């Protein structure tokens, strides 16, 4: 801006500087295209009374510009197109020069005139004709500023006015300065948007790859020929075939709820879309909410950027909400709204986001009893139970023991490269009497330990001696005459609870009737963390 030539007073100069400061600070505070356009247009209106303005961006094919933001017009004209070279806006884009035209209302059909004027002097002077965009009033005066980044055209910023015949030169320089600022901010926002989209695409691929990795499981991978299991598998097949009904999986610890959820997803039409799971007990309420629904920038102190939640990332696929019984009543209400309306809001957001997916929920708690106690919403309970599937405990289907033993024996024999071929009939009888409080997971862990320690080709009852068929006995705790080490008992109880729950501290805590921190402290005190073996996540 040539301030000297404009002979500004000191006051005016100070105002201009303040204006530049305001707009450049605001415009650089965001990477959001819509926000940038709004800031540019609002500043122009508030500071200079330029109430009507348009921001257009160059189309990908470079042949036309499309309106991305309009301000001050009765109808929004977003998406309207202006071909390069057409009217004042199109010409400014073609010539890459600022065009200031006036007295448009009194003249008609000036396209040729503007063109020759532009060819001659590089500016349209008071001549011009804007192509009629839908919803625009009769424009009297107009300034069109090409948005350029190192000579490359990004778009056009146009201010228009119906009540004065012509904009001043000073208006032109102000609009020019704003145009320059807007050009780089818009350019950055477009780059940011492209990166964010690429990132989102990669995230989706990664999720899909993760879901697909570790082999796709199908319902046939759920082992069990007992009547109860056949019935459950029959239901799971029906569930997989119905594309979007909500499913509630119930069953004790280790009965295969995770496995069933994954099998439903992999055997449904959604198999190629993401499968995302989250354990509701693993996170505090606020974190769980933002993991599930995402959050807007600034929704809370750490929310530096907008983040998509699992529901958005899993669009088209399946979201598995494990331990749904642990979800707070507040989040239950939000989940219910999502199930009913297929819409939700990000934390701190005001717009509804719509996605299409299937929810599978699981719990080992008695939701009906929780409803009675007021700890679980009744309406959500019925909404989730559209398709309920109960996975039976292992003690009610001991007939499946032999099949499951074979499965895990083969798996660990290969993994540990040990020549363990079978289980003796005595061992099988011993296992049949055991009540399996940890169900299939406990059996799997028992076989793993037995194969690892086995010395011969056949596993006998002694290889499973850690499992006591009497279970918990009569429940009375007896103090031996010689006394005991309380720490040792505590350590063993915590170790057993962690073992039974695959080192899930929340669940272990529940088994012991203590809270998670209590278990966490003791697990670290006694060195009871999950044993890690390279190359294989432990169940
Ligand atoms: N019927 C089955 N056939 C084969 N493997 C099974 C079966 N049921 C469970 N498993 C295996 O047992 C382990 C525990 O199962 P899973 O994690 O699915 O149980 P869960 O019901 O989700 O347990 P929790 O309530 O503790 O979350 C997994 O390794 C799973 O693959
Ligand atoms: Mg589970």
Question: pLDDT tens-digit profile of 42-51?
Answer: 888 887 778 7
Of 14-18, 198-202, 209-213, 307-311, give the range with the top mean pLDDT.
Answer: 307-311
CA–CA distance, 391 with 362 (Å, rounded to integer): 11
Q: Give the helix/strand (H/E) hosting 88.
A: helix 87-95
Identify the CATH number of the domain in which residue 487 sits.
1.10.10.60
- In this predicted structure, which of 77-81, 218-222, 334-338 has the lowest mean pLDDT? 77-81
Tell me, yes or no, whether 66 and 157 share the same domain. Answer: yes
512 pLDDT tier (thresholds 50, 70, 90): confident
Q: How many domains does the chain have?
A: 3
CA–CA distance, 539 with 536 (Å, rounded to integer): 9
Q: What is the predicted pLDDT for the residue at 79?
A: 72
Could you say which DSSP state residue 32 is in? -
Question: pLDDT tens-digit profile of 109-119?
Answer: 344 445 444 55
| Position 441 in a domain | no
Tell me, yes or no, whether 47 and 189 share the same domain. Answer: yes
Tell me, yes or no, whether 175 and 223 share the same domain. Answer: no
Q: Which ligand is nearest to the CA of 440?
A: 1
Query: Does 438 sit in the ligand 1 pocket, CB within 6 Å?
Result: no
- In this predicted structure, which of 21-35, 210-224, 501-515 has the lowest mean pLDDT? 210-224
306: nearest Cα among 294, 316, 315: 294
| Position 414 in a domain | no
Nearest CA to ligand 1 atom 17: 258
- Are the CB atoms for 287 and 273 separated by under 8 Å? no
Residue 382 has pLDDT above 80, yes or no: yes
Tell me which of 231 and 506 has the higher pLDDT: 231
Structure tokens belonging to residue 478: 């007896």
* Distance from Cα 393 to the centre of ligand 2, integer Å: 14
Query: Does 440 sit in the ligand 1 pocket, CB within 6 Å?
Result: yes
| Position 421 in a domain | no
Tell me, yes or no, whether 187 and 332 share the same domain. Answer: no
292: nearest Cα among 257, 340, 327, 265: 327
Residue 538 has pLDDT above 60, yes or no: no
CA–CA distance, 246 with 453 (Å, rounded to integer): 43
Tell me, yes or no, whether 185 and 333 share the same domain. Answer: no
Tell me, yes or no, whether 220 and 187 share the same domain. Answer: no
CA–CA distance, 161 with 175 (Å, rounded to integer): 13
Structure tokens belonging to residue 307: 């983040």
Q: What is the predicted pLDDT for the residue at 87?
A: 77
Q: Which domain holds residue 514?
A: 483-539
Q: Which atom of ligand 1 is nearest to the CA of 217?
A: 31
CA–CA distance, 247 with 3 (Å, rounded to integer): 69
| Position 353 in a domain | yes
| Position 468 in a domain | no
Q: What is the predicted pLDDT for the residue at 534?
A: 46
Question: pLDDT tens-digit profile of 237-292?
Answer: 999 999 889 999 999 999 999 999 999 999 999 998 999 999 998 888 888 999 99
176: nearest Cα among 283, 96, 71: 96
Query: Does 295 sit in the ligand 1 pocket, CB within 6 Å?
Result: no
Residue 107 has pLDDT above 80, yes or no: no
Question: pLDDT tens-digit profile of 391-404?
Answer: 999 999 989 999 99
Tell me, yes or no, whether 47 and 100 share the same domain. Answer: yes
Tell me, yes or no, whether 148 and 219 share the same domain. Answer: no
What percentage of residues in the chain have a pLDDT greater than 90?
40
Nearest CA to ligand 1 atom 12: 441
Query: Does 443 sit in the ligand 1 pocket, CB within 6 Å?
Result: no
Identify the CATH number of the domain in which residue 387 sits.
3.40.50.300
Residues 6+ apart with CB under 8 A from 179: 98, 145, 146, 147, 157
Question: pLDDT tens-digit profile of 345-368?
Answer: 999 999 999 999 999 999 999 999
Tell me which of 372 and 133 has the higher pLDDT: 372
Identify the CATH number of the domain in which residue 74 sits.
3.30.450.40
Residue among 325, 440, 501 whose CB has most ligand 1 atoms within 8 A, to mutate: 440
182: nearest Cα among 344, 10, 310, 55: 55
Q: Which ligand is nearest to the CA of 507?
A: 1
Q: What is the predicted pLDDT for the residue at 321?
A: 96
Query: Does 285 sit in the ligand 1 pocket, CB within 6 Å?
Result: no
Residue 303 has pLDDT above 80, yes or no: no
- Are the CB atoms for 91 and 115 separated by under 8 Å? yes
Instruction: Tell me what the mean pLDDT of segment 210-229 comes to.
Output: 82
Tell me, yes or no, whether 150 and 24 share the same domain. Answer: yes
Instruction: Tell me what the mean pLDDT of segment 429-433 comes to.
Output: 90
User: Chain-wide mean pLDDT for the chain?
Assistant: 83
6 pLDDT tier (thresholds 50, 70, 90): low
Residue 338 has pLDDT above 50, yes or no: yes
Residues 6+ apart with CB under 8 A from 433: 469
- Are the CB atoms for 91 and 131 separated by under 8 Å? no
| Position 347 in a domain | yes
- Are the CB atoms for 368 and 390 separated by under 8 Å? no
Tell me, yes or no, whether 368 and 504 share the same domain. Answer: no
Could you say which DSSP state residue 227 is in? H
Q: What is the predicted pLDDT for the residue at 95?
A: 87
Tell me, yes or no, whether 109 and 222 share the same domain. Answer: no
| Position 412 in a domain | no
* Distance from Cα 275 to the centre of ligand 1, integer Å: 17
Chosen domain end from 162, 193, 224: 193
Residue among 256, 367, 498 whose CB has most ligand 1 atoms within 8 A, to mutate: 256
24 pLDDT tier (thresholds 50, 70, 90): confident
Instruction: Tell me what the mean pLDDT of segment 72-85 comes to.
Output: 74
**Residue 321: helix, strand or coil by DSSP?**
strand
* Distance from Cα 224 to the centre of ligand 1, integer Å: 12
Instruction: Tell me what the mean pLDDT of segment 161-167 comes to.
Output: 77
* Distance from Cα 438 to the centre of ligand 1, integer Å: 10
CA–CA distance, 334 with 286 (Å, rounded to integer): 12
Q: What is the predicted pLDDT for the residue at 18?
A: 82
Chosen domain end from 355, 371, 392: 392
Tell me, yes or no, whether 141 and 270 share the same domain. Answer: no
Residue among 247, 254, 411 whose CB has most ligand 1 atoms within 8 A, to mutate: 254
Query: Does 444 sit in the ligand 1 pocket, CB within 6 Å?
Result: yes
222: nearest Cα among 361, 421, 432, 403: 403
Chosen domain end from 392, 426, 459: 392
Residue 456 has pLDDT above 60, yes or no: yes
Residue 266: C-alpha distances to residues 208, 231, 272 (Å): 11, 20, 8
Query: Does 510 sit in the ligand 1 pocket, CB within 6 Å?
Result: no
| Position 420 in a domain | no
């Amino acid at each position: 801006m040539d301030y000297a030539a404009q002979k500004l007073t000191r006051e005016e100069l100070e105002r201009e500087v303040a204006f530049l400061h305001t707009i450049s600070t605001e415009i650089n505070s965001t990477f959001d295209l819509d926000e940038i356009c709004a800031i540019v247009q609002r500043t122009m209106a508030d500071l200079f009374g330029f109430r009507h303005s348009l921001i257009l961006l160059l189309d990908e094919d470079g042949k036309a510009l499309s309106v991305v933001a309009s301000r001050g017009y009765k109808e929004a004209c977003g998406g309207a197109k202006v071909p390069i070279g057409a009217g004042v806006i199109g010409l400014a884009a073609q010539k890459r020069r600022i065009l200031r035209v006036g007295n448009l209302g009194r003249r008609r059909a000036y396209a040729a005139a503007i063109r020759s004027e532009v060819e001659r002097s590089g500016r349209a002077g008071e001549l011009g004709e804007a192509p009629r965009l839908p919803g625009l009033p009769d424009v009297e005066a107009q300034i069109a500023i090409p948005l350029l980044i190192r000579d490359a055209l990004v778009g056009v910023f146009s201010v228009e006015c119906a009540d004065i015949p012509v904009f001043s030169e000073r208006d032109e320089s102000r609009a020019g300065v704003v145009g320059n600022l807007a050009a780089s901010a818009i350019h950055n926002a477009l780059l940011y948007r492209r990166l964010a989209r690429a990132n989102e695409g990669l995230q989706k691929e990664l999720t899909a790859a993760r879901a697909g990795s570790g082999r796709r499981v199908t319902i046939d991978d759920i082992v069990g020929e007992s009547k109860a299991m056949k019935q459950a598998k029959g239901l799971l097949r029906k569930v997989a075939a119905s594309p979007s009904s909500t499913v509630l999986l119930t069953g004790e610890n280790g009965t295969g709820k995770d496995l069933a959820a994954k099998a439903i997803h992999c055997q449904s039409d959604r198999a190629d879309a993401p499968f995302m799971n989250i354990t509701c007990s693993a996170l505090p309420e606020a974190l769980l909410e933002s993991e599930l629904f995402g959050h807007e920038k600034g929704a809370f102190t750490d929310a530096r950027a907008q983040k998509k939640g699992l529901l958005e990332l899993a669009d088209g696929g399946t979201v598995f909400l494990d331990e749904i019984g642990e979800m707070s009543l507040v989040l239950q209400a939000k989940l219910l709204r999502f199930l009913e309306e297929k819409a939700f809001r990000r934390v701190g957001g005001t717009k509804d986001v719509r996605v299409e997916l299937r929810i599978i929920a699981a719990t080992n708690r008695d939701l009906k009893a929780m409803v009675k106690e007021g700890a679980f919403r009744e309406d959500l309970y019925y909404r989730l139970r559209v398709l309920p599937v109960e996975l039976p405990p292992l003690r009610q289907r001991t007939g499946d023991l032999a099949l499951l033993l074979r499965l895990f024996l083969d798996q660990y024999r290969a993994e540990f490269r040990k020549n363990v071929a079978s289980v003796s009939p005595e061992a099988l009888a011993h296992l049949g009497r055991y009540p399996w409080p940890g169900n299939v997971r406990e059996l799997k862990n028992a076989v793993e330990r037995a194969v690892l320690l086995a010395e011969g080709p056949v596993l006998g009852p002694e290889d499973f001696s850690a499992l006591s068929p009497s279970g918990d006995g009569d429940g009375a705790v007896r103090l031996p005459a010689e006394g005991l080490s309380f720490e040792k008992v505590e350590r063993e109880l915590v170790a057993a609870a962690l073992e039974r729950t695959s080192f899930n501290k929340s669940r272990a805590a529940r088994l012991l009737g203590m809270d998670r921190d209590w278990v966490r402290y003791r697990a670290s005190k006694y060195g009871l963390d999950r044993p890690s073996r390279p190359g294989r996540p432990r169940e």
